[in-house]
Amino acid sequence: MQEVRVLIDNNQVGGIIGKAGANVKRVREEAGVFLSILKAEFRAVQERIMVMKGTISQIAKALCLISELLIEGSGKDKNSGEGIAIRLLVHRGAVGAVIGKSGATIKETQSETHVRVQVSNEPLPNSTEKTVTITGSSSAIQNATTRILTQLKESPLRSGTKVYAYVPGQPMYPTQPAYGLPYMQQPQLGLLQQPFPSYGGLGGQSQANMPTSTQKIAIPTVCAGCVIGKGGSVIRDLRAQSQCNISIADPEQNSPNERVVTLTGTSQGIQTAIYLIRQLVEQYQPQQSY
């Protein structure tokens, strides 16, 4: 049993559900799959998440039927060969199984199933999910999805891998820190604790009279280097952009895989810093990645 998340446009939802739910009922019955379109958590979003659970063949059959519905809804001729695009959501740590060494696997999938497969360069905002877009006819999408889901099943994520599901419309500056809960008062240990110079805010307003606070978040130890940068270059830029003082503690003995980052500044500055740090951590690629 696998779970697959698919990104769909708002204007595709009606065609998938059908009048009084007739289309979605048919897909569920013919494919034998669990299928649900998640409610939008934020207003005025352009995208929705469709969740499917079942065997690989059931999910692939369901995506074949759904792509037929989307081709009908788009007014394209079924036999024109134009096809439709299906966007699977895949954890950034798992896309290597789809791409293969030097792109060999993805090329083979494309040539043998007659689809185009594209993997997004960056994860979607505030998430660890990338899009794997499969474009082709409905039957080609079924064949390609079968291959891709098999590749993912054969290369599961390591246990303990952090997973942040994409939520369409989620604000860019999350109110919670990206990694774990805030660390409570822990001593500031370690690197880069020089006092942060004061910068003038926008419009010439000084931030000196704005209330400041301190927040602690955790980042994976392996990612600390990309947040610090060569000679501290990246962390200097982070400080300048967020106008926060940022220090990274050495790993503690009882949690060697995490390092505590202490952020001191205005609430907006702290949220900016968290967002920027999160982007760096999400983009981190191990040297021996694929």
Residue 70 has pLDDT above 70, yes or no: yes
pLDDT of res. 80:
58
pLDDT bin (cut points 50, 70, 90) of residue 268 is: confident
Residue 144 has pLDDT above 60, yes or no: yes
Instruction: Determine contact, residues 115/82, Cβ cutoff 8 Å.
Output: no
Task: List alpha helices for the chain, DSSP H.
Answer: 10-17, 22-31, 56-74, 95-99, 104-113, 138-154, 224-228, 233-242, 267-283
131 plus 220 within the same structural domain: no
pLDDT of res. 193:
31
Instruction: Give domain status of residue 288, yes or no.
Output: no
Distance of CA 167 to the CA centre of its chain: 9
Instruction: Give domain status of residue 249, yes or no.
Output: yes
Domain boundary among 139, 154, 169: 154
Residue in 86, 111, 114 with CA at minimum distance from that of residue 100: 111
116 plus 215 within the same structural domain: no
| pTM more than 0.75 | no
14 plus 111 within the same structural domain: yes
Residue 29 has pLDDT above 50, yes or no: yes
How does pLDDT run across 34-66, given as a tens digit for each residue?
999 998 877 778 999 999 999 999 999 999 999
120 plus 250 within the same structural domain: no
81 plus 208 within the same structural domain: no
pLDDT of res. 30:
97
**Across the chain, what does the average pLDDT equal?**
82
Instruction: Give domain status of residue 161, yes or no.
Output: no
Tell me what percent of the residues of the chain surpass a pLDDT of 70. Answer: 82
Quick one: average pLDDT of 243-259? 86
Phi, psi torsion values for 16, nearest 5 degrees: -75, -40
How does pLDDT run across 164-191, given as a tens digit for each residue?
889 888 765 444 444 443 333 233 333 3
**90 beta partners:** 130
Domain boundary among 118, 136, 154: 154
Q: How far is CA 268 from CA 48, 102, 133, 173, 193, in A?
A: 29, 41, 35, 9, 21
* Range of the structural domain that residue 104 is part of: 2-154
Instruction: Give domain status of residue 25, yes or no.
Output: yes
Residue 251 has pLDDT above 70, yes or no: yes
Number of domains, the chain: 2
Instruction: Give domain status of residue 21, yes or no.
Output: yes
Which of 37-41, 197-201, 222-226, 254-258 has the lowest average pLDDT?
197-201
pLDDT of res. 110:
96
140 plus 77 within the same structural domain: yes
CA geometry: angle 253, 259, 260, nearest 5 deg = 110
Residue in 273, 250, 240 with CA at minimum distance from that of residue 192: 250
37 plus 110 within the same structural domain: yes
Single-letter amino acid code for the residue at 125? P
- Determine the Cα–Cα distance for residues 107 and 202; give it in Å rounded to an integer: 49
How does pLDDT run across 108-121, given as a tens digit for each residue?
999 999 999 999 99
3 state SS for 123-142: CCCCCCEEEEEEEECHHHHH
**Maximal CA-CA distance, the chain:** 67
